[in-house]
Chain A
Amino acid sequence: MSKKKVTEDTFGSSYKKLEVILAKLETEIEDHSLEEIIEKYQEAINLLKICRKKLDEAELKIEKLSTEEEN
């Protein structure tokens, strides 16, 4: 399951997760133990890495739906 998730990581999903963690750290930082906060921090750093990698390595892909294939 977790393997599948890794391959499904997209810029959008990673960026949204990052935003959720940041919002949590901003509003609920007092509610979590240091261990939880550090775990979230590491997750966020990892997401940042994924997002940057996606942006740096992105290359526009254009596919054409051939009409012959449809017929």
Chain B
Amino acid sequence: MNSPVSVSELTRDLKNTIERNFSFVFVKGEISNFKNHSSGHFYFSLKDSKSQISAVMWNSRAKDLNFMPEDGMSVLIKGRITLYETRGSYQIDAFEILPSGVGELQIAFEKLKKKLYDEGLFDERYKKPIPLYPEKVTLITSETGAAFHDFIKVTENRYPLVRILLIPAIMQGANSAESICSAIKKANSVAYKSEIIVITRGGGSIEDLWTFNEEKVARAIFNSKIPVVSAVGHEVDFTISDFTADKRAPTPSAAAEMIFPDAYDLKLRLNVSENSLKRHIHYRINKLKNELSSIERNYYFKRPADLINEFRMNLDALDRDIKSVTAGKFRNIKTNIETNRKLLNSLNPENVLKRGFAIIRRDERIVTQSSQLKIKDEIQIRFSDGESDAIVK
């Protein structure tokens, strides 16, 4: 209290105090005196019926804004308070400006929708299929919200086989966009391998649901490697996130019905499968049985004696063949013998002698020529009925 401080010392103190205590503010108001400076910085005032405060948005952030603020526009601003020492004035350093009036929101919605549509973020070809029988599902929602309970209740009744990983997130208001984006990132990075991410919250005003119309949320959903089901608000509420998600469900309960098969149906289907399985195997076995009995009914299996008789007849035929062949042979041999006997008979010298011929021998040798004989030679003459001795004269 004793020694006075300088203006700049006081200003410095004020700056430190203010900037430390207001390092993040979330303010709603109406834009006035809006100036888009040639440097790209935005200068304006934010006001309501009683007060106003200066605001600035530097060009580094202003260039990312997907709409152009105008005087009279209702907005939400995220930023911090800074004190400009030279003039001793404070202002909002805006990080983000969000339209908040219904009219403005609608315009911003349409603009972002067109922008992302033009970029192809809603294209069917980017939609990832939702697995049929998921084992693990990540749920991004507020733990205390009705959406969480609705989703869990339906899941429990329908498909209790699943494991749910809850990543709590702020589902509306300041920080909700960051919270949801970080939850999506965690779901994608965490060791727990989810097959589906469900982002859900119950119904609310357009402002309540606005987070899901923010570009970064829509993009985070689009960029997720795991398929995302967006179930935000009620049937009639469509958000940009619904368009970038792989699937949109009208309500939290509908999301659970959409992604999980009904265990009751599955049990019925198992019964059908079992019946059809049994039918197939019986069909096959019966078919084989029929084939077997048709073989059994075959003529030979029915009367084996016929088969034996047939063999026997074959044997008899062979026997007859052999007999006729051998009998023929014997007849031929007999004929040959008779012929040869007659031939031999005709050659018998006895027969020749009987016809008046005689055999002359001298000294036991047959004489065939008269020159072989001399006078006084003693010879034997053989007739058919005996021999006589004679002397040649």
Give A contacts to B, CB under 8 Å.
Answer: 10-12, 15-16, 18-19, 21-22, 25-26, 29, 34, 37-38, 41, 44-45, 48, 51-52, 54-55, 58-65, 67, 70
Contacts and interface: CB of A to CB of B under 8 A. Distances in A.
Contacts, number: 94
A64 B135 contact: no
Interface residues of B, number: 36
Q: State the majority secondary structure of interface residues on A.
A: helix
Interface stretch (B80-88, B159-167, B341-349, B356-364): B159-167
Given A22-B276, A38-B281, A60-B155, A52 B270 contact: yes
A64 B283 contact: no
A60 B153 CA distance: 10
Given A22-B273, A44-B277, A45-B277, A61 B164 contact: yes
Contacts of B162: 60-61
A10 to B, nearest CB: 5
Contacts of A58: 159-161, 263
A65 B186 contact: yes
B267 A29 contact: no
Nearest to B138: A65
Interface of B: 131-135, 143, 152, 155-156, 159-168, 186, 190, 192, 263, 266-267, 270, 273-274, 276-277, 280-281, 283-285, 288
Nearest to B278: A41
Given A52-B267, A62-B163, 14 more contacts: A11-B161, A11-B266, A18-B273, A22-B273, A25-B277, A29-B284, A37-B281, A41-B277, A44-B273, A59-B160, A63-B163, A63-B164, A63-B165, A64-B168
A26 B266 contact: no
B227 to A, nearest CB: 15
Nearest to A59: B160
Contacts of B263: 55, 58
Contact of B166 (A38, A45, A62): A62
A12 B132 contact: yes
B168 A67 contact: yes
Contacts of A38: 281
Nearest to B179: A67
A60 to B, nearest CB: 4
A15 B266 contact: yes
